[in-house]
Amino acid sequence: MAAETASGTPAIRLNGLRKEFAGTPPVVAVHDVDLDVRAGEFFSMLGPSGSGKTTVLRMIAGFEEPTSGRIELAGEDVTGRQPYERDVNTVFQDYALFPHMSVAENVEYGLLVTKVGRAERRSRVAEALEQVRLGDHGSRRPSQLSGGQRQRVALARALVNRPTVLLLDEPLGALDLKLREQMQVELKGIQRDVGITFLFVTHDQEEALTLSDRIAVFDAGRIEQVGTAHEVYESPASAFVAGFVGTSNLLTGDAARAVIRRDGSFAIRPEKVAVMAVGSPADTGMMSADGTLEEVVYGGPVTRYVVALDAGGRLTALEQNAGTRPDVAALRRGERVALRWRADHVIDVPGPPAPERSPLGASPQQSPTTT
Amino acid sequence: MTVFATLVLTFVYVPLVVVGVNSFNSDRTFGWPPPGFTTKWWEAALQAQGPRDALLTSVKAGLGATAIALVLGTLLALALSRYDFFGKHAVSILVVLPIALPGIVTGVALQSVIQNVLSPVFGIGAGLFTIIVGHATFCIVIAFNNVTARLRRLGGSLEQASADLGARPLTTFRRVTFPLLRSSLLAGALLAFALSFDEIVVTTFTAGPESQTLPIWIFNNLFRPNQAPVVNVVAVVLIVLSIIPVWLAQRLGGADAAESRL
């Protein structure tokens, strides 16, 4: 069932892929992107809206023609081919189910138009519907289904064709939080079962971290970093990645010089920063900074503390409420606190800090420190 | 508000009711109130050759114009909403323009083409064919508008999904686009037919001496005293035949809007 790719040949290879949209001057949506996606991988393209990730997906599907560059699927150059000549299938953001067909007819469509025999069609449709747990909904119309069910029909309709690569364009974007979390688990399970390469587009960093084997972080038409969830989160390659993936906790300029005692930009993940009473002793290998509590955001299992540092700048600390010490639990806005973190948790981030973005996911995101 | 609406509706529909009642009026000169009721005018009308031929011509013209309008209007709508090409905006204005042009202008223009080009060069004189062409000029607009509105509402993602699943463009049209357009095509067809059926201005200039449509027949016989009762009957037939398609088209539009919203 897995994509039949010679070992070592990537399922997708993008080579200098570029897309300009007409205008004066032309708008460059994608800047010469190079990317290899391995066969069988769950690969996410993560970035804010307008970062070019969806345009890349649409070029792979064949809906947009690249201005220059090459697209290879399983070692085959498909750059100039029509969408119906490519061995990829797409799960669309709005599902794009055919309203005049039943659920089973929707799923059968790809097999029907590619002239698969009737008996095989029937068994594969039944299998695909079973896979997404819609075995007994085949005769319904899409309009009679809930959002989550439509989403699963769209998935079955694409998977039934056993493509080399499945493209997913923010498929969970239209679902509410609970359903989205449930679908994430299902999606991951299905991908593991079918072994097809998934290329997943999302602007939700949590979703990308949870689901993906590897992630490409996009910004302004360029790939900033490619890596596993762990790599992207723990060692971001740029200030943008540090800020976009996870809560941004950036120290630059004078604040960095005062607190870290080096020049440059540094990120510290909030969960690695501890809040203490002023004057508590610091262990060896720990760094510390004093400041004033600006905000205390209680979030159930965790509490978020935003601290304005005396040295300038702002740091967010995330405390698990399981072990919160009484002296910290009682903290209120305006009180003086000391922050502590391990020196080896400080990440050097090259490049300018990320511009301020709207909060993503559930976490209120702090704007990066500026000098 | 209510008073105003009542007033307007009265002004519009009372004359129609009078025509209907008069078609049963036993008085040859339509004395009012009718001294008695009779079905003899209906019998006379059904026997008369003139109105029957005219009805046939009208139906043929309506069907012909509708058929042309559907094919050309749909193709135009598809081209203008799904593809980008040079002069796209100019074409989309040119397509809709005939409905705004005064019928008399269209009529005069068509007549001069028939006289100066069609008949001497191609040997096609004024007749059924020229009526069909004349009606098609404004029927296309109806079909075009209906299909364009539907295409806009559908968006392109269903067609993209179809291509993504391996369907070639013709297959996509046959299995996805056309089935989703069907009800708007039917609604457009019914409206176009109704428009063609009671058209008189353009028809006056494009119909030859041999072919008369029903409205032209009425117009020609209106002032002949002995034909007047029959004219009433024909008028009632015309009203009914024009109202049914419009009513059907409205119902279709409503039912369909509910279904295609997903």
Q: What is the pLDDT of residue A283?
A: 79
Contact A161 B165 (CB under 8 A): yes
Domain containing B242 — which CATH number? 1.10.3720.10
Q: What is the pLDDT of residue B68?
A: 94
Contact B160 A63 (CB under 8 A): yes
CA closest to A147 among chain B residues = B262
Max Cα–Cα distance, chain A, nearest Å: 77
> A314 to each of A144, A177, A297, B202, how far by Cα in Å?
50, 30, 15, 78
Query: Omega of the bond prior to B33 within 30 degrees of 0, cis?
Result: yes
Q: What is the pLDDT of residue A264?
A: 81
Q: What is the pLDDT of residue A365?
A: 39
Measured in angstroms, the CA of A159 and the nearest CA of chain B are apart by: 10
Contact B160 A96 (CB under 8 A): yes
Distance between alpha carbon A224 and the CA centroid of its chain, in Å? 13
Measured in angstroms, the CA of B180 and the nearest CA of chain A are apart by: 7
Q: What is the pLDDT of residue A328?
A: 66
Distance between alpha carbon B246 and the CA centroid of its chain, in Å? 10
Q: Which of B161, B259, B261 sits opposite A96 (nearest CB)?
A: B161
Residues of A in contact with B179 (CB under 8 A): 100
Kindly indicate the confidence band of residue A362, based on its pLDDT and cuts at 50, 70 and 90: very low
3-state secondary structure of A219: strand
3-state secondary structure of B101: coil
Q: Which is more confidently placed, A185 or A355?
A: A185
Contact B158 A161 (CB under 8 A): no
Q: Which of B158, B260, B261 sits opposite A96 (nearest CB)?
A: B158
Q: What is the pLDDT of residue A351?
A: 63
Residues of A in contact with B261 (CB under 8 A): 143
- Residue-wise pLDDT tens digits, B192-205: 988 888 888 888 88
Domain count, chain B: 1
Contact A89 B160 (CB under 8 A): no
Contact A89 B165 (CB under 8 A): yes
Mean pLDDT of A206-213: 91
Query: Omega of the bond prior to A236 within 30 degrees of 0, cis?
Result: no
Q: Is A115 near chain B, with CB under 8 Å?
A: no
Which position has the token pair 């947009």?
A64
DSSP E strands, chain B: none
Q: What is the pLDDT of residue A370?
A: 38
Residues of A in contact with B165 (CB under 8 A): 84, 89, 109-110, 113, 157-158, 161
Q: How far apart are CA A151 and CA A145, in angstroms?
A: 9
Q: How far apart are CA A271 and CA B102, in angstroms?
A: 75
Low-confidence winner among A103-107, A208-212, A328-332, B239-243 (lowest mean pLDDT): A328-332
**Buried/exposed A146-182: b ≥16 CB within 10 Å, e otherwise:** eebbbbbbbbbbbbbbbbbbbbbbbbbeebeeeebee
Measured in angstroms, the CA of B163 and the nearest CA of chain A are apart by: 5
Mean pLDDT of A164-184: 88
Q: What percent of chain A has pLDDT over 70?
A: 91
Which position has the token pair 């690249």?
A66
Mean pLDDT of B209-218: 81
Task: Determine contact, residues A265/A252, Cβ cutoff 8 Å.
Answer: yes
Considering the domain boundaries, does residue B127 fall inside one? yes
DSSP assignment of B213-238 equals: -HHHHHHHHTT-GGGHHHHHHHHHHH
* Residue closest to A151 by CA, chosen among A182, A120, A189: A182
Measured in angstroms, the CA of A85 and the nearest CA of chain B are apart by: 7
3-state secondary structure of B42: helix
Considering the domain boundaries, does residue B8 fall inside one? no
Contact A157 B180 (CB under 8 A): no
Q: Which of B158, B164, B262 sits opposite A143 (nearest CB)?
A: B262
Residues of A in contact with B180 (CB under 8 A): 99-100
Mean pLDDT of B159-188: 92
Q: How far apart are CA A269 and CA A251, in angstroms?
A: 11
Q: What is the pLDDT of residue B194?
A: 86
Q: Which strands, in side-by-side order, build the sheet including A88-91?
A: A88-91, A165-169, A197-202, A42-46, A214-219, A222-227
- Residue-wise pLDDT tens digits, A109-139: 999 999 999 999 999 999 999 988 898 999 9
Q: Is A99 near chain B, with CB under 8 Å?
A: yes
Q: Is A82 near chain B, with CB under 8 Å?
A: yes
Kindly indicate the confidence band of residue A224, based on its pLDDT and cuts at 50, 70 and 90: very high
Considering the domain boundaries, does residue B42 fall inside one? no
Beta bridge partners, B25, equal B37
Considering the domain boundaries, does residue B166 fall inside one? yes
Kindly indicate the confidence band of residue B253, based on its pLDDT and cuts at 50, 70 and 90: low
Low-confidence winner among A23-27, A200-204, B175-179 (lowest mean pLDDT): A23-27
Measured in angstroms, the CA of B1 and the nearest CA of chain A are apart by: 39
Residues of A in contact with B157 (CB under 8 A): 92, 94, 96
Considering the domain boundaries, does residue B3 fall inside one? no
Task: Determine contact, residues A187/A167, Cβ cutoff 8 Å.
Answer: no
Q: How far apart are CA B13 and CA B24, in angstroms?
A: 18
Q: What is the pLDDT of residue B53?
A: 85
Kindly indicate the confidence band of residue B254, based on its pLDDT and cuts at 50, 70 and 90: low
Does the structure show a pLDDT above 90 at B233?
no
Q: What is the pLDDT of residue A361?
A: 35
Kindly indicate the confidence band of residue B158, based on its pLDDT and cuts at 50, 70 and 90: very high
Residues of A in contact with B163 (CB under 8 A): 62, 82-84
Q: Is B153 near chain A, with CB under 8 Å?
A: no
Spell out the long-range contacts of B108-116 with Cβ–Cβ below 8 A and sequence spacing 24 or more: B108/B205, B110/B134, B110/B137, B110/B202, B110/B205, B110/B206, B111/B205, B111/B206, B114/B206
DSSP E strands, chain A: 12-21, 27-37, 42-46, 68-73, 76-77, 88-91, 165-169, 197-202, 214-219, 222-227, 250-251, 266-267, 274-276, 286-299, 302-309, 314-320, 336-342, 347-348
Residues of B in contact with A114 (CB under 8 A): 166
Mean pLDDT score of chain A? 86
* Residue closest to B62 by CA, chosen among B155, B189, B181: B189
Question: Tokens standing for A62?
Answer: 């064949």
Task: Determine contact, residues A148/A140, Cβ cutoff 8 Å.
Answer: no
* Residue closest to B24 by CA, chosen among B43, B11, B37: B37
Kindly indicate the confidence band of residue A259, based on its pLDDT and cuts at 50, 70 and 90: confident
Question: Tokens standing for B93?
Answer: 């204005």
Considering the domain boundaries, does residue B44 fall inside one? no
Q: Is B201 left (phi over 0), alpha (psi -120 to 50) or beta?
A: alpha
3-state secondary structure of A249: coil
Considering the domain boundaries, does residue B123 fall inside one? yes
Q: Which is more confidently placed, A278 or A52?
A: A52
Contact A84 B163 (CB under 8 A): yes
Considering the domain boundaries, does residue B113 fall inside one? yes
pTM of the model: 0.78
Environment class of B8 (CB within 10 Å of its CB; exposed 0-12, middle 13-18, buried 19+): exposed
Measured in angstroms, the CA of A142 and the nearest CA of chain B are apart by: 8
The domains located in chain A, with CATH, are 12-239 (3.40.50.300), 243-348 (2.40.50.100)
Site from B164, B177, B260 to mutate, A interface, most A CB atoms within 10 angstroms: B164
Does the structure show a pLDDT above 80 at A299?
yes
Domain residues for the domain of B80 are 55-260
Mean pLDDT score of chain B? 84
Q: How many helices (H) and strands (E) does chain A have?
A: 10, 18
Question: Tokens standing for A12?
Answer: 């997708």
Give me the interface pTM, i.e. the ipTM: 0.80
Q: What is the pLDDT of residue B168?
A: 94
Q: What is the pLDDT of residue A254?
A: 81
Low-confidence winner among A245-259, A334-348, B98-112, B153-167 (lowest mean pLDDT): A245-259
Q: What is the pLDDT of residue B156?
A: 85
